[in-house]
């Protein structure tokens, strides 16, 4: 076998290697978030998140023993907070 050496370049490989690497987690948004992730996203304490879950203001699902919050529920909760803030400032 002949070693093609460092000067031999496959043009298709060069094009692919010049593309920026993309983290799949950045491309595909998550559908479900753990409570610890929701805490970070909403800048709220664990206690506050669980209070919102208990009161029904923030929806969640359970998978086994894990409590997960759908991304749609987070968006709805943020919209609820914005609506309440707008209503409160209009009074």
Give residue-wise pLDDT tens across range 42-79. Answer: 999 999 999 999 999 999 999 999 999 999 999 999 99
Query: pLDDT value at position 85?
Result: 94
Entry pTM = 0.67
- Assess if residue 57 is contained within a domain: yes
User: Which CATH number characterizes residue 85's domain?
Assistant: 1.10.1660
The percentage of residues in the chain with a pLDDT greater than 70, rounded to a whole number, is 68
Higher confidence at residue 13 or residue 90? 90
- Assess if residue 37 is contained within a domain: yes
Q: Which of 27, 33, 25, 86 is nearest to 59 (CA)?
A: 33
- Assess if residue 12 is contained within a domain: no
Q: Which domain holds residue 53?
A: 28-90
- Assess if residue 19 is contained within a domain: no
Number of domains in the chain: 1
Q: Is 12 exposed, middle or buried (0-12, 13-18, 19+ CB in 10 A)?
A: exposed
What is the distance between the alpha carbons of residues 79 and 22, in angstroms, rounded to a whole number? 30
């Amino acid at each position: 076998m002949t070693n093609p050496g460092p000067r031999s370049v496959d043009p298709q490989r060069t094009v692919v290697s010049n593309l920026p690497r993309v983290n799949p987690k950045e491309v595909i948004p998550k559908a479900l978030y753990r409570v610890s992730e929701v805490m970070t996203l909403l800048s709220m304490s664990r206690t506050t998140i669980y209070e919102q879950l208990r009161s029904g203001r923030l929806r969640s699902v359970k998978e086994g023993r894990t409590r997960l919050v759908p991304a749609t529920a987070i968006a709805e909760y943020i919209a609820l907070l914005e609506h309440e803030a707008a209503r409160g400032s209009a009074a």
